[in-house]
Amino acid sequence: MAKKQTTKSVSASKKSSARKGLAPVVNVALLGFGTVGSSVATVLAASKFPGIQLTHIFNRDVERKRTSAAAKRVPAAVVWTEDINVILKSNVDVVIELMGGLNPIEGWLRKAIVSGKSVVTANKQLIAYRGATLAKLAAKHDVHLVHGAAVAGGVPVIPGMLQGLGGDQVTRLSGIVNGTCNYILSRMETGADYATVLADAQQLGYAEADPSADVDGYDARAKLCILSRIAMHAELDPDAVATQSISTVEAVDFSYAKELNCTIRQVSRAQLEGTTVHARVAPMLVPMASPIAWSHGTQNMVVVSGRFGGDVVFSGHGAGGEPTAVAVVSDLLAVAQGCKSVQLPVRKRKVTGEFLAPHYLRFVVDDKPGIVSAIAGALAKVGANIDSILQRPGYPKHRLPFVVTTEPCLTSVIEKALHSLAKMDCMLERPLCLQMLQIEDKPE
């Protein structure tokens, strides 16, 4: 993304500083003074990086922000404004966008780029949906567009892949990129139920009042698309990536997962096969031996598999004001020093949610003779073989949860069988179907 720093404003301020015999100064505007924005101001105030000068802060209803506790760390000379034109017409060299969302943010950043300002952003939706066109615009206007904090917050997975893995052919990546889901599922692993943990996550500020973007997988699929673009040079339509909610996972699933030597995590995975990318964001059974199972709480974990370099694991704090601010400020420093990053051609790729994998099927039934043979029959009809049947003691016969695992087969094949099984009178809930992650998993 990063290009040679030749914007008029940066050059002008550099020339004027050079005339005065001072180090060149890069003027910076913060757009958004929320969790991450105020932390960026804190990091900049604490570290006083030479040549970096925060000059403007933009936020709606700005007086509210200006009188906040976080504002006390902001230098007195900084201009606070709620008029975006003040930023666009200023001599700011770099805008740091920390507001989130697509509109009106995209339009404002386009204007900033056209007026010669570089952009640092942590906005995953913007980069997932508009990253390619914004990057072209930035290249045309010879400015930087960097977004190292857009995936995994404080974990340098994007810069790590750009700078450290550009020389490999990455064919597969999988991991945990949504801290909210990881917090919920890793608490459920210790026996808590979904509703209680979600309420706790909302109280702690880990989950929104409407948790859908996290628990239904939309946040993670935006991040998966960004990672696929950087690691596999594959441009994916985020809306085409299959998602499955974690909200149907129950405490009993963790008991059965444990018997299978697994746990359950929201996994985002993508695998390049020819010209197609197999991609999916869903709760999956993860073997306890996999590094993905080791992440707890709001931690993020990404495993990148390359043809030549093998597996590389990134892990750490995926979210939070200060960890994310570190990633943002690191991007700012790279832009200010004109650092270039590796750029390889990106191609649009077809997406499918199909993976050839074993599946975990959990049924809750009013127990009657013949249920297991009906399930076996429905699976056999679509060509899926049963690998194991698990039934823990102690559950009432009139509401009996039990599990069937299958040998590797396509998810669409299993779903076809479940569609007919769900119509049986004895089925008290829609059967739950989870992919079982294996280290050697292959797509269709």
The binding site for ligand NAP (CB under 6 A) comprises 32-37, 59-61, 98-100, 104, 122-124, 149, 153, 319-320, 324
CB 260 to ligand NAP: min, Å: 33
Task: Read off the tokens for 70.
Answer: 């976080």
> Given the complex with ligand NAP, which of 36 and 262 has the nearer CB atom?
36
**Residue 192: φ, ψ to 5°:** -75, 155
Residues 6+ apart with CB under 8 A from 77: 55
Q: Distance of CA 252 to CAs 71, 96, 188, 363, Å? A: 47, 45, 10, 11
Is 416 a known active-site residue?
no
CB 15 to ligand NAP: min, Å: 33
> Given the complex with ligand NAP, which of 35 and 305 has the nearer CB atom?
35
> Given the complex with ligand NAP, which of 161 and 403 has the nearer CB atom?
161
The catalytic position among 223, 348, 368, 442 is: 223
Q: Where are the beta strands (DSSP E) in 122-207?
A: 145-146, 170-176
Question: Rounded distance, CA 212 to CA 201, Å?
Answer: 13
CB 33 to ligand NAP: min, Å: 5
Distance of CA 230 to the CA centre of its chain: 13
Torsion of CA 304, 309, 310, 316, to 10 degrees: -40
Residue closest to ligand NAP when measured from CB atoms? 34
Query: What is the DSSP pairing of strand 94-97 with strand 79-81?
Result: unpaired
CB 149 to ligand NAP: min, Å: 5
Nearest Cα to 179, choosing from 158, 159, 138, 208? Answer: 208
> Given the complex with ligand NAP, which of 217 and 320 has the nearer CB atom?
320
CB 374 to ligand NAP: min, Å: 46
> Given the complex with ligand NAP, which of 328 and 357 has the nearer CB atom?
328
Nearest Cα to 282, choosing from 101, 411, 384, 418? Answer: 411
Q: Which residues are catalytic?
A: 223
